[in-house]
Structure 1
Amino acid sequence: MLTLNPNINNIFTYDKSYFKSLPKLKRIIEEFKFLNSFRNYDIIINTTEGDRGAFIAKFSRAKIKIGFSPKKNIFLKS
């Protein structure tokens, strides 16, 4: 549904098995690269309930953030 929407330019997915397979230092570097890839967007839509998506949305600098609040709600408090 999202990939065919002409109003959506990019879709990012997080491949957990890829990141877990990396050595620790390389994993940290790749995680920061992934996080920084969200810095230049106007809208972030998070389709998961996990903390990672909420964290990315919070620190993306996007003006509009759509998604679920994480269960623990630690990243979205003002």
Structure 2
Amino acid sequence: MSRTFTLDDLKRILLEGSGAPDGADLDGDILDTEFTDIGYDSLALLETTSRVEREYGIELDESLVGDASTPRALLDAVSAHLQAQPA
């Protein structure tokens, strides 16, 4: 069974784990905006990826996650991992 990971999923997990940064508009066009420009630091991303791993039952490569500096990059990385899982 292949699950999907959407921008709405990412926003929900970001908000649950790290809250909303002051002045951040997660409802805007954030796909290609650096996480740091949205207001999320590396600790927030570690918490986010940890929550993704638990919720989706996957293990993400640390270097892959470290290279995902935008929501689009993280979505692509998680989606690729989910699609590669056996049915």
Q: TM-score, normalised by structure 1?
A: 0.32
- Structure with higher Rg: it is 1
Which structure has more relative contact order (CA 8 Å, sep 6+)? It is 2
Q: TM-score, normalised by structure 2?
A: 0.30
Relative to its length, the structure with more strand (as a share) is 1
